[in-house]
Amino acid sequence: MSSYTPEEFDNAKTQVMKYILYKKRTESEVRTKFCHTIEENMLDDIIEYIKEAGYINDKEYIKKIVNEYMNLKSMSIREIKNKLYDKGIYADEIEDYISENQEVLEEYELNSAKKLAQKKKGADEQKIKNYLFSKGFDIDVVGKVLNSKED
């Protein structure tokens, strides 16, 4: 039996809903935000309620964020993964999304690396390599970028 009243639940749920309706959030972000202000059992029940209602869905969140990054930024797949890990999304959910969308993501990653290398066009090859490695691109992508520059 729960140790809170329906009014307490509704008040806490309203707080959480305001937080997630302001900006899409992950389950982990909600837990972190409210872990000290809402009793744990109540928070679990609220999260379960809002997940069932479709307000929190980490898989949809991954899709939305990756599409946002692809449209606005030049990033490596590793960098995208790290940003998603930082949001508290489980590694297996991230890996599933990446493997399901591997072709598109690899093409995006190669184009991102080319754009970033283009910005460094006056630099020598080693500086470009180091720069791309620091941005999380792997050796295969860096090699493709540098080989395409020579064409």
Residue 26 φ then ψ, to 5°: -90, 165
Q: Mean pLDDT over residues 118-140, rounded?
A: 92
Question: Burial code of 123-135, b = ≥16 C-beta within 10 A, e = fewer?
Answer: eeeeebbebbeeb
Quick one: tokens of 63? 């899709």
| Per-residue pLDDT at 136 exceeds 80 | yes
Per-residue model confidence as pLDDT tens digits over 39-92: 999 999 999 999 999 999 999 999 999 999 999 999 999 999 999 999 999 999
Of the options 1.10.10, 1.10.287, 3.90.1570, 3.30.70, the CATH number for the domain spanning 6-56: 1.10.10
| Per-residue pLDDT at 150 exceeds 90 | no
Per-residue model confidence as pLDDT tens digits over 82-118: 999 999 999 999 999 999 999 999 999 999 999 999 9
Say what the pLDDT of residue 2 is: 64
CA 57 to chain CA centroid, nearest Å: 13
The model's pTM = 0.84
